[in-house]
Structure 1
Amino acid sequence: MVEKTQTIPNVENQYRNRELSWLQFNARVLQEAGDPTVPLIERFRFLGIFSNNLDEFFKVRYATIKRIAEAGKGGRSFLGGISAKDLLEEITQTVIEQQATSLRILSKIETELQKENIYIIDEKEVTPAQSKFISDYFIRKVSPALVTIMIGELEQFPSLKDSAAYLAVKMVMSKEDETFEEKINYALIEIPRIIDRFVVLPPEGDRQYIILLDDLIRHCLQNIFSIFKYKSISAHMIKITRDAELDIDSDLSKSFIDKISKSVKNRSAGDPVRFVYDKSIDQKTLRFLMDKMGIDTTDSIIPGGRYHNRRDYMDFPSLGREDLLYERKDPLPVPGLNLQGSLFEQIAEKDYLLYAPYQSFSYVVKLLREAALDPKVTTIKITIYRLAEVSHIASSLINAAKNGKEVTVQIELQARFDEAANIKYAEQMQSENVRLIFGVSGLKVHCKACLIERIEKEKIKRYAFVSTGNFNESTARIYTDYTLFTSNQKICKEINRVFDFFEVNYKIKKYRHLIVSPHYTRNAIYSLIETEIQNRRNGLSSGIKLKLNSLSDFKMIDKLYEASRAGVEIQLIVRGICCLVPGVKGMSENIKVISIVDKYLEHPRLFIFNNAGSPKMYISSADFMGRNLDNRVEITCPIYNTEIQQELLDTFEISWNDNVKARIVSDKLDNAYRKNSKERLRSQFKLYDYYLDKLNG
């Protein structure tokens, strides 16, 4: 075991705070929305991603910090030197500034859309012809789905749904109205989630018109409240975000599925952590709502624009305008791996690497479908973390079980925000005789692996695929991830040991090839870094190249600092959280960090260690975060095939040399784009061309 590295002397701010670093990542997403070179409708969608990210951040991270603050704990030791209370205030201020930026960007995008004859109108801009269409649409589709609550007369305020958008309606009653004692009354209208947020109106000539569902409802307020006599009526949007932590029932008589299902349902009653409101709402209405909802000073109170739940912009209609979208590029085949032939026969000959979405995810589904039908296949074992809404993976596994294969699925029911979907699939697979394992007590199973056993020449031969991302057809179109297909029996044998650990987890398995969390990853990575340190000191070639989603573990950062001080050159591509501070003399001057945010979500974990010129390379499901190293089951898989090693090195270098969408991560926290005099290189576009050249070469 490598000795624990000592704290670096005389250097302030050794670590960035995790939450503030994450907000910097979300600012990079917002940069994409504001980038005039990004197609217009795609810019809308980046605004939606920015908003959706914020929702999840408040449900999980802000809620956690709030609990620390309410418990009276400072939290400085694991919050990067800032107290929980101060951190809450800084988060709120940062988010207010980012929200203001997002509103300015939204206004610019809408102005640009008008130049393309696309108009987003509100209820005051509706023409008589559009009004007739809207009234009919409201009666047919919207009115039956509306939930309207008269809150002025209620003794107990209703519990608002997490992240749902509501119109807070204020009515100033006429003198002759005797319905209410109060002359000012209030109602809440829940914006239905089952109806598209953007309603496309009939075109007029070359012009296309869209109205948001919120404004369509505002236009029809008279229809909703026609039984009341009021002098004036107004509606302003509000939204509440709740703590998303699951409270797992300890009742031993209940199944694990039942416990998680109940906990997910109870999540809607979690404590509020963020309240967003239309800043043009009158103060009396705002105070009334906040008092009734019990919003207090530890909650994040965000004055916003007219519209909330801008995450819905992720589904902004395309309107048939392909010229306002990214050019569609079909996923490429993997060179030498023929979907028309038997994948087993081909993988038996050599390993293959799939890099989605540049290459087709169909190979994963095809291999499972082939396994489901192949009479030689006896067993399929797979881990599942997040499935697509309509999952061909799940249907293939069920098909295999129907054909008499022994199918074992380790499904993670506590995959954040996908619990309900996984419960649905777990129940479906269970009813079809698929054997389910619900993980290891106290550990999430986050690794992505599948093992298939086949009888060949009267012996069991194993095949496997291991991935850096989920076995999910939907996300495979927008997340970049590596998947290794292999019949290396040593690796396959150790993947089987991981599945054995799920069943008998009081026995800790040993591995010579795989690096497996929670027992081995931390020390194995320490050891690999230490080898680079010793090689550098001994005059041998050294270097570390890492591609990660997040880097937040302080001890791992200390080890990288130690390598930097020894003179090891370290290149880091970190998409999201980066608590490491690069480029500080005496601490990290040999570490450079970039982050790439572009068309696709960068998701692979790739580790490359120079190893005195004989590189050691790994793909992994694990980031360098405490939870991945110590509290989850993760697989880091070695790459032995030299062709694939070169491919991984090539793809890393293409990403590292990006000078269009790469941002420099530095102590300035300004998300500055990397600019240089070299030829423009946009890595995600270049990677597609790289694989296209491989096919044509």
Structure 2
Amino acid sequence: MVDFKRTKYYVNREISWLAFNDRVLEEARDVQNPLFERANFLAITQKNMDEWFMVRVASLQQQVMIGHDRVDAAGLTPTKQLDEISKVAGGQIKKQYQVLTRSLLPALRREGFELLHSDDLTANQIQFLKRFFDQELLPVLTPMAIDTTRPFPFLANDTLNIGVRLKKSEDKLEKYIAVLQVPETSGRVIALPEKNQYILIEDIVQLFLPSLFPGYVIRESTVFHVIRDMELDIADDEDTPNILQDVQSKLQERERGRVIRVIFSRTTSSSLRIKLIKLLHVDESRAYMVNGPIDLTFLNVWLKFIQAPDLKFPPFKGYNNPNLAPDKLFNSIKHQDYLLHHPYDSFKPVIEFIQTAAKDDQVLAIKMTLYRVSGKSPIVKALGEAAQHGKQVTVLVEIKARFDEENNVHWARELERQGVHVVYGLRGLKTHAKVVLVVRREDDTIRRYVHLGTGNYNDVTANFYTDLGLLTSDSELGADVASIFNILTGYSDPGYFHQLHMSPDGIREFIYEQIDNEIANAKAGKVAGIKMKFNSLSDERMIRHLYQASQAGVKVSLIIRGITMLKVGIPEVSETIEVHSIVGRFLEHSRIYSFENDGNPKVYLSSADLMTRNLDRRVELLFPLKNDRLRDKVLSIFQIMWHDNVKTRVLQANGSFEKKDRRGVMALDAQEMFTQDTLVQQNNQMKQEQLTATKQRFEPLNNPFISEEYGGEE
């Protein structure tokens, strides 16, 4: 009997996350990607790692501080995890800068785009920058001395700072230390007068530092980047009378969290580095030295200056189904379900679903969940307009959505101001479900129209996140969604749902049942198989169920973008499990759960990943595709992605991810294939529109001089 709880069967969650970020870094190294996109991938790895330190590493640090020493599934204590991930993260940071300095900057230089250092500047450029410094930077710079009367200042999260070591002109001792924050008022990258030449703002500040410290000699200056603990601890209990106020209060506290990581320039002296580490109260294992510009997100800022479309991915817009145009939308959904595969299908019909409902006199009510939205959300605007038009509008705004808390608090207040009934989520749970309900009166009856999705109602990220959504007027799904909103906004326990499954608890138990059914089919010699696609797999109990399926001979095919704590290829444990990860132009975000069911596949979409938080501590929804056509379409999407051999990495028994061997095999890039299919659809639609317009143009008018024999109406 195999003990599936043995630590050797699991990968540490954080090590697995770092492996995912390394796959993103591979895209920055891949010369098959356009140059600017490679730079963008490198910037993404920086942003990813910053957020990971702010939350995951910070959480482990908190556990160590309170003496928590329980081991994870892989057998590591929080202290041991910190030791391991600090080393692996350090290696990854080193690789980031190798990509930057050995590959990207030289390639950009060959294209004619130069990032200059102060040593590279001409006399004219220095003169130009001196005027810029005096006019734009000097007024906002605040050098802060550090001594017995002036303690070390607070340095905000995610800021660039300059540490300075000085001495007085007549002194021999170098005993003075000062810091100043690099201002953000002028942007990170400054264009020089010469075409396609640029310099970073911190280099300008360092160039003219002496003017900030008259009477002192600058012995050394260094740039360093500070990341703080940004984990938001909301007390979801009855002692917190107002969750909105608590979130707002915690947001202010969060800004002053402990320093969790600091990155220094490689040229920093040992004495200055040690002094700053001590002043920042950061563990030395999380102080890293880099050979190049600190905080690689400067690449995104820099590339916005440059117009070079041939160095980017070709522009792409999703397909707009003409049946989902505003004037046809409700009638179309009334007669059939529609599946949207974003970004290949435009997100516009989802926006127009809500906009049309807001203006439609027959619509009585709109109910919706919001987890992350854009800064200028047309959906939020439409919801406000709907309320002003007298419709009943109820919106659950999840104000605990990580790093979107402030944005969501703003939208919640704005919606309330416009007359929308706003719910701020449930105590102890995040509402991560993606659902809209539109209630419409039609011919003396009430019909419910529903949108269910795997991704957020964010019109910006919908252009580069892959997600799936269902538009339906199915009466049972509509009744289930109505029950969901009664649970979220009131006191309701419906006892059962017709088709939906809801976490906490419901999705976990349902997936267990489906896995058990596949195990029973495999043992009975029937067709059995599991196909799933999601973002992360870190729930130990779910992994054990998948191990049991493999042990029974069920073929398990998993497409996982990010974390996977599961191991493959373990004899008698996971021999029939295969894991693929696709990292490409679009961020894979859709969640698909499919079970072979003895040749009659059952296919479900969900907002949930297979993580403990999604299954036990969040409100999530899982919903079926009842329509055979839509079910087969999703299975086809999965199969195309499964056979991708360009952007896919396959998990190996040793824990590494390796690209497929393409020798003698035609290249198949799933994302590119979906993109090309979209372009074909758009071209066919354009031809059809042109044909229709031509027919209308030459269609005979009601003219008595036109004979029926020569083109009159039949």
Fold equivalence (TM over 0.5): yes
Aligned to 1:100: 94
Aligned to 1:646: 632
| Paired residue secondary structure (2:192) | strand
**Using a 3 Å threshold, how does the CA distance of structure 1 residues 312 and 383 change in structure 2: closer, same or farther?**
farther
Say whether the 8 Å CA contact 1:49–1:314 is kept in structure 2: no
Say whether the 8 Å CA contact 1:551–1:624 is kept in structure 2: yes
**Using a 3 Å threshold, how does the CA distance of structure 1 residues 508 and 280 change in structure 2: closer, same or farther?**
farther
Aligned to 2:199: 211
| Paired residue secondary structure (1:441) | coil
Say whether the 8 Å CA contact 1:548–1:575 is kept in structure 2: yes
Aligned match of 1:275 in 262, 266, 271? 262
**Using a 3 Å threshold, how does the CA distance of structure 1 residues 426 and 194 change in structure 2: closer, same or farther?**
farther
Say whether the 8 Å CA contact 1:440–1:505 is kept in structure 2: no
Pairing 1:286-297 to 2, within 5 Å after superposition? 286-296=273-283
Higher relative contact order (CA 8 A, sep 6+): 1
Say whether the 8 Å CA contact 2:23–2:583 is kept in structure 1: yes
Aligned match of 2:112 in 113, 117, 142? 117
In the alignment, the residues of structure 2 paired with residue 411 and residue 69 of structure 1 have an alpha-carbon distance, to the nearest angstrom, of 33
Gaps of 5+ in 2: 686-714
Aligned to 1:384: 370
Say whether the 8 Å CA contact 1:561–1:587 is kept in structure 2: yes
**Using a 3 Å threshold, how does the CA distance of structure 1 residues 234 and 79 change in structure 2: closer, same or farther?**
farther
Give how far 1:147 is off: 4.0
In the alignment, the residues of structure 1 paired with residue 646 and residue 106 of structure 2 have an alpha-carbon distance, to the nearest angstrom, of 25
In the alignment, the residues of structure 1 paired with residue 148 and residue 62 of structure 2 have an alpha-carbon distance, to the nearest angstrom, of 33
Give how far 1:144 is off: 4.0
In the alignment, the residues of structure 1 paired with residue 623 and residue 582 of structure 2 have an alpha-carbon distance, to the nearest angstrom, of 24
| Paired residue secondary structure (2:183) | coil
In the alignment, the residues of structure 1 paired with residue 73 and residue 153 of structure 2 have an alpha-carbon distance, to the nearest angstrom, of 35
Aligned to 1:64: 59
In the alignment, the residues of structure 1 paired with residue 57 and residue 126 of structure 2 have an alpha-carbon distance, to the nearest angstrom, of 42
**Using a 3 Å threshold, how does the CA distance of structure 1 residues 192 and 509 change in structure 2: closer, same or farther?**
farther
Give how far 1:473 is off: 0.9
In the alignment, the residues of structure 2 paired with residue 487 and residue 147 of structure 1 have an alpha-carbon distance, to the nearest angstrom, of 60
Counterpart code for 1:244 = M
Deviation digits for residues 324-382 of structure 1 (CA, Å, limit 9, x no counterpart) = 11111222223x53425231111111111111111211111111111111000110000
Aligned to 2:421: 435
In the alignment, the residues of structure 1 paired with residue 221 and residue 637 of structure 2 have an alpha-carbon distance, to the nearest angstrom, of 52
Give how far 1:185 is off: 2.1
1:261 paired to 2:248: yes
**Larger displacement relative to structure 2 (484-493 or 230-239):** 230-239
**Larger displacement relative to structure 2 (89-98 or 317-326):** 317-326
In the alignment, the residues of structure 2 paired with residue 338 and residue 401 of structure 1 have an alpha-carbon distance, to the nearest angstrom, of 23
**Using a 3 Å threshold, how does the CA distance of structure 1 residues 133 and 347 change in structure 2: closer, same or farther?**
farther
Aligned to 2:691: none
Counterpart code for 1:96 = G
Counterpart code for 1:263 = K
Deviation digits for residues 296-336 of structure 1 (CA, Å, limit 9, x no counterpart) = 46x622222343222332343241111111111222223x5
Aligned to 2:469: 483
Deviation digits for residues 435-488 of structure 1 (CA, Å, limit 9, x no counterpart) = 101111101000010000001112211001011110001111111111111111
Give how far 1:12 is off: 6.1
In the alignment, the residues of structure 2 paired with residue 513 and residue 112 of structure 1 have an alpha-carbon distance, to the nearest angstrom, of 54
Gaps of 5+ in 1: none
In the alignment, the residues of structure 2 paired with residue 253 and residue 7 of structure 1 have an alpha-carbon distance, to the nearest angstrom, of 43
Deviation digits for residues 510-552 of structure 1 (CA, Å, limit 9, x no counterpart) = 2130111003111100001111111112222111110010001
In the alignment, the residues of structure 2 paired with residue 46 and residue 153 of structure 1 have an alpha-carbon distance, to the nearest angstrom, of 45
Say whether the 8 Å CA contact 1:68–1:75 is kept in structure 2: no
In the alignment, the residues of structure 1 paired with residue 219 and residue 459 of structure 2 have an alpha-carbon distance, to the nearest angstrom, of 47
In the alignment, the residues of structure 1 paired with residue 123 and residue 341 of structure 2 have an alpha-carbon distance, to the nearest angstrom, of 53
Counterpart code for 2:87 = Q
Counterpart code for 1:633 = V
Counterpart code for 1:546 = M
1:681 paired to 2:687: no
In the alignment, the residues of structure 2 paired with residue 486 and residue 501 of structure 1 have an alpha-carbon distance, to the nearest angstrom, of 21
In the alignment, the residues of structure 1 paired with residue 373 and residue 561 of structure 2 have an alpha-carbon distance, to the nearest angstrom, of 23
Give how far 1:51 is off: 0.7
1:37 paired to 2:32: yes
Counterpart code for 2:669 = R
Aligned to 2:710: none
Give how far 1:294 is off: 2.2
Say whether the 8 Å CA contact 1:654–1:687 is kept in structure 2: no
Aligned to 1:82: 76
Aligned match of 2:514 in 510, 528, 535? 528
Aligned to 2:181: 190
1:474 paired to 2:460: yes
Say whether the 8 Å CA contact 2:318–2:344 is kept in structure 1: yes
In the alignment, the residues of structure 1 paired with residue 135 and residue 643 of structure 2 have an alpha-carbon distance, to the nearest angstrom, of 54
Counterpart code for 2:65 = E
Give how far 1:171 is off: 2.1
Deviation digits for residues 10-31 of structure 1 (CA, Å, limit 9, x no counterpart) = x761111111000000011111
Aligned to 1:163: 158
**Using a 3 Å threshold, how does the CA distance of structure 1 residues 400 and 145 change in structure 2: closer, same or farther?**
farther
1:360 paired to 2:350: no
| Paired residue secondary structure (1:16) | coil
| Paired residue secondary structure (1:13) | helix
Say whether the 8 Å CA contact 2:168–2:216 is kept in structure 1: yes
1:324 paired to 2:311: yes
**Larger displacement relative to structure 2 (148-157 or 99-108):** 148-157
Aligned match of 2:544 in 527, 549, 558? 558
In the alignment, the residues of structure 2 paired with residue 504 and residue 61 of structure 1 have an alpha-carbon distance, to the nearest angstrom, of 34
1:220 paired to 2:216: no
Counterpart code for 1:631 = R
| Paired residue secondary structure (2:659) | coil
Give how far 1:433 is off: 0.9
Aligned match of 1:8 in 4, 11, 20? 4
Deviation digits for residues 153-176 of structure 1 (CA, Å, limit 9, x no counterpart) = 644211221121111122232118
1:403 paired to 2:418: no
1:633 paired to 2:627: no
In the alignment, the residues of structure 1 paired with residue 681 and residue 628 of structure 2 have an alpha-carbon distance, to the nearest angstrom, of 16
- Let me know the Cα RMSD of the aligned residues: 2.1
**Larger displacement relative to structure 2 (379-388 or 141-150):** 141-150
Q: TM-score, normalised by structure 1?
A: 0.94
In the alignment, the residues of structure 1 paired with residue 240 and residue 508 of structure 2 have an alpha-carbon distance, to the nearest angstrom, of 37
**Using a 3 Å threshold, how does the CA distance of structure 1 residues 255 and 39 change in structure 2: closer, same or farther?**
same
Say whether the 8 Å CA contact 2:436–2:451 is kept in structure 1: yes
In the alignment, the residues of structure 2 paired with residue 251 and residue 648 of structure 1 have an alpha-carbon distance, to the nearest angstrom, of 43
| Paired residue secondary structure (1:261) | helix
Give how far 1:412 is off: 0.5
In the alignment, the residues of structure 2 paired with residue 126 and residue 657 of structure 1 have an alpha-carbon distance, to the nearest angstrom, of 51
| Paired residue secondary structure (2:8) | coil
Counterpart code for 2:555 = E
Say whether the 8 Å CA contact 1:25–1:576 is kept in structure 2: yes
The total of aligned residue pairs comes to 680
Give how far 1:68 is off: 2.2
Aligned to 1:548: 534
In the alignment, the residues of structure 2 paired with residue 154 and residue 375 of structure 1 have an alpha-carbon distance, to the nearest angstrom, of 68
In the alignment, the residues of structure 2 paired with residue 313 and residue 466 of structure 1 have an alpha-carbon distance, to the nearest angstrom, of 36
In the alignment, the residues of structure 1 paired with residue 35 and residue 183 of structure 2 have an alpha-carbon distance, to the nearest angstrom, of 27
Aligned match of 2:44 in 27, 44, 49? 49
Q: TM-score, normalised by structure 2?
A: 0.91
In the alignment, the residues of structure 1 paired with residue 16 and residue 623 of structure 2 have an alpha-carbon distance, to the nearest angstrom, of 28
| Paired residue secondary structure (2:657) | coil
In the alignment, the residues of structure 2 paired with residue 506 and residue 148 of structure 1 have an alpha-carbon distance, to the nearest angstrom, of 59
Q: Which has the larger radius of gyration?
A: 2
Give how far 1:254 is off: 5.8
